[in-house]
Amino acid sequence: MKKTIRLILGDQLNINHSWFQTSYDSVTYVLMEIRSETDYATHHIQKVIGIFTAMRAFAKELKARNHDVIYIQLNDINNEQSFDKNLESLITQHQFTSFEYQLPDEFRVDEIVKNFCKSLSITTDAVDSEHFFTTRTELGDFFEGKKTFVMESFYRAMRKKHRVLMEGNNPINGQWNFDSENRKKLPKNHKPTSPLVFNNDVSVVANEIRQTNIKTIGNVEVKNFVWPINRVQSLELLDFFVNECLPLFGSYQDAMMPNEWSLYHSRISFSMNVKMISPQEVIEKATSEWRKRPDEIAYNQLEGFVRQIIGWREYMRGIYWLKMPEYASLNYFDNQGKLPDWYWTGDTKMNCLKDAIHQTLEFGYAHHIQRLMIMGNFALLAGVHPDEIGAWYLGVYMDAIEWVEITNTLGMSQYADGGIVGTKPYVSSASYIDKMSNYCGSCYYKKAVKTGDKACPFNSLYWNFYDKNEDKLGKNPRIGMMYNVWRKMQSESKVALLKQADYYLKNINNL
């Protein structure tokens, strides 16, 4: 008789997958908490707790639906701590005649599972994870023969193909992208909506993790774990977002405010990345809310949100599968710097970095513009090696799974891919940060000062970056204006800026 074992990875918690629609006596599912996955990066403690708790809730749900489930906990004595070793033991022990898995999202795990299949004498099969709008190869096919990978054209094609925000063959309201309306700073006394947080008690899982020597970072409140840990809570968070945050999502998408850790962002990336909810249902929910409340939710708010999901998220996944594994070692600027120590503590006098890193350690979360224009911006200006900053991003965020982390870090943020994802590096001096945030007013450093005592480090590092990389960026039409300013600057000013940058780079751990 055929006996099948099906592997479910920690980021494959999709209860609506066709696998689970019928229960068969001959099929057993396995989920495992293993050291190979807790240790390939130094994860935030909340990420490990969140994934384990969500995996346990998922296993319970499967059992309640009459599926046969084997769940290997971290401290089980028979846990061999890797996918292949545990699977091998189970296959021998239970005499399974067939092994099946859903296509992993991470290249590393994909290789492990493929190699494992090669080692087996029983039948094997891989199925789609039924989560994304696109297949692994769809973006590659779309851009076949093209020299550039412009996200906007991919986004439009996705909108057409999946009939999202379309009126016949045209985009609703006659325009594809309303980004120009989405760059507002928060008014000074604005009090953003308080974020919905959950008060999950995760003390049991947290204790089990603490009993091991797994190295983690960040803090956690084990009686009040803020993240959704099952589908019901994920849907609750989505409801909260569309009710409370969507009306201002686009307007303040790029805004930053001290001590306000999520503003009008959805915080559904963790739920989506482990597949407790799908991008389709997120878009449908947001769109139907907009249809119900057109007077409260302006179209630009909705379009901005939809673009992040059917546009950027699918685009990053496509780039990942097109360019891996080479992508992981790209370093266009040949940056070799070390990550400043304070990235792991938040112990810096730079207010923007202090605030954004502290909230990262406290919640395992920072919103997009903090990741891009505060932490990413500084790392690039400081010439940090992409592997160093990559390991940081892969560890510190709840939603950090490599396919979406590495493309954002090496591509969008560090320009380490030389322009596959972005058309120019995302760097700025203090003026942009001040324009979009309320950080600078209470900072030790002075935003308008470029050299000398208390000069904001972003200012001199910014010009130093352009100077150092002129051979690679000087001809880029999108930054020609900056080079014109630099070339016309008086030579004493240039020398002073470069000297200041050099001083800061030499004292980077004391900033």
Binding-site ranges for ligand FAD (CB under 6 A): 265-269, 272-273, 308-309, 312-313, 316, 367-368, 371-372, 376, 393, 397, 399-400, 404-405, 408-409, 412-413
Identify the sign of the CA torsion 492, 494, 495, 499.
positive
Two tokens, residue 111 = 């290789």
Q: Is 34 in the site for ligand DLZ (CB under 6 A)?
A: yes
* Cα-Cα end-to-end distance for the chain: 67
Q: What is the dihedral of CA 56, 58, 61, 62, to 10 degrees?
A: -110
Part of the chain binding ligand DLZ (CB under 6 A), chosen from 34-42, 342-350, 389-397, 465-473: 34-42
Q: Restricting to residues 339-368, which ones interact with ligand DLZ according to CB under 6 A?
A: none
In the complex, minimum distance from the CB of residue 47 to ligand DLZ, in angstroms, rounded to a whole number: 6
Residue 352 interacts with, from ligand DLZ, ligand SF4, ligand FAD, none (CB under 5-8 Å by kind): ligand SF4
Which C-beta is closer to ligand DLZ: that of 11 or that of 80? 11
Q: Is 379 in the site for ligand SF4 (CB under 6 A)?
A: no
The DSSP secondary-structure symbol of 70 reads: E
- Rounded to 10°, the helix 314-323/151-161 angle is 120
- Per-position DSSP letters for 209-225, written without gaps between them: HHTTT---BS---TTSB
Binding-site size, ligand DLZ (CB under 6 A): 16
Part of the chain binding ligand SF4 (CB under 6 A), chosen from 156-164, 250-258, 406-414, 438-446: 438-446
Query: Alpha-carbon distance 323 to 416, whole Å?
Result: 13
Part of the chain binding ligand DLZ (CB under 6 A), chosen from 30-38, 113-121, 349-357, 380-388: 30-38
Part of the chain binding ligand DLZ (CB under 6 A), chosen from 7-15, 369-377, 426-434, 451-459: 7-15
Which C-beta is closer to ligand SF4: that of 273 or that of 459? 459
| Alpha helix (H) residue ranges in 143-230 | 151-161, 203-210
Which residue's structure tokens are 């055929």? 2
Query: Alpha-carbon distance 298 to 250, whole Å?
Result: 9
Q: Is 43 in the site for ligand DLZ (CB under 6 A)?
A: yes
In the complex, minimum distance from the CB of residue 389 to ligand DLZ, in angstroms, rounded to a whole number: 19
Q: Are strands 170-171 and 166-167 parallel, antiparallel or unpaired?
A: antiparallel
Residue 351 interacts with, from ligand FAD, ligand SF4, ligand DLZ, none (CB under 5-8 Å by kind): ligand SF4
CB under 8 A, 24+ apart: contacts of 300-304: 300/178, 300/181, 300/182, 300/250, 300/251, 301/246, 301/247, 301/248, 301/249, 301/250, 301/251, 302/165, 302/246, 302/250, 303/165, 303/177, 303/178, 303/250, 304/178, 304/179, 304/182, 304/249, 304/250, 304/253
What would you measure as the largest C-alpha separation in the chain, in angstroms?
Answer: 83
| Alpha helix (H) residue ranges in 347-490 | 351-363, 368-370, 377-381, 386-396, 402-406, 430-436, 457-468, 470-473, 480-488
Two tokens, residue 393 = 């991003």
Residue 456 interacts with, from ligand SF4, ligand DLZ, ligand FAD, none (CB under 5-8 Å by kind): ligand SF4
Choosing from 178, 252, 332, 445, the residue that interacts with ligand SF4 (CB under 6 A) is 445
Choosing from 298, 440, 479, 501, the residue that interacts with ligand SF4 (CB under 6 A) is 440
For residue 15, CA distances in Å to 60, 104, 106, 135, 494 come to 11, 16, 20, 19, 59
Part of the chain binding ligand DLZ (CB under 6 A), chosen from 33-41, 231-239, 477-485, 490-498: 33-41
Which C-beta is closer to ligand DLZ: that of 404 or that of 511? 404
Choosing from 6, 10, 306, 327, the residue that interacts with ligand DLZ (CB under 6 A) is 10
In the complex, minimum distance from the CB of residue 37 to ligand DLZ, in angstroms, rounded to a whole number: 3
Task: Report the amino acid identity of residue 338.
Answer: K
Task: Tell which residue, 136, 416, 159, 374, has the closest CA to residue 151.
Answer: 159
Part of the chain binding ligand SF4 (CB under 6 A), chosen from 157-165, 168-176, 325-333, 434-442: 434-442
Q: Is 31 in the site for ligand SF4 (CB under 6 A)?
A: no
What would the x/- binding string for ligand DLZ be over residues 400 to 439, using CB under 6 A? -x--------------------------------------
In the complex, minimum distance from the CB of residue 435 to ligand SF4, in angstroms, rounded to a whole number: 10
| Interaction site with ligand DLZ (CB under 6 A) | 9-11, 32-34, 37-38, 43, 48, 51, 104-106, 109, 401
Q: Where do contacts with ligand SF4 occur on this chain (CB under 6 A)?
A: 350-352, 430, 433-434, 439-440, 443, 445, 447, 456, 458
